Amino acid sequence: MDAADPAPPDAWWLRQLWAEFSAGERIRFQYFWGHRDTGRTDASCLSQWFPAPFSLDGQVYATAEHWMMAEKARLFDDE
């Protein structure tokens, strides 16, 4: 990866995005911070705060954000 080609070899989508950006095209983004359950599948389910409980090694996490915070605490030996 370099300044002329910022994409890894298998990332055709990144090359396409870079070409569009370099050509001055307006890039549309998919925002997904709305983490309220709307009762349908939409972009809100992509938020790490979306209420989707799961368990890992016997520990239940309410959201992906809870897991991430717990892992960060473990990484830095923060009991």
DSSP sequence for 26-57: PPP----------SS-SGGGGSTTS---EEET
Spell out the per-residue pLDDT of the chain, length 79, in tens. Answer: 456 666 677 788 888 888 999 999 999 887 777 777 778 888 788 888 888 999 999 999 999 999 999 999 999 998 7
Q: Where are the domains of the chain?
A: 42-79
What tokens appear for 56 in the block?
Answer: 């890992």
Closest CA to 44 of 31, 59, 34, 56: 34
A 10 A CB-CB count for 14 gives 14
Per-residue pLDDT at 1: 47
Per-residue pLDDT at 14: 83
pTM of the complete model beyond 0.85: no
Per-residue pLDDT at 2: 55
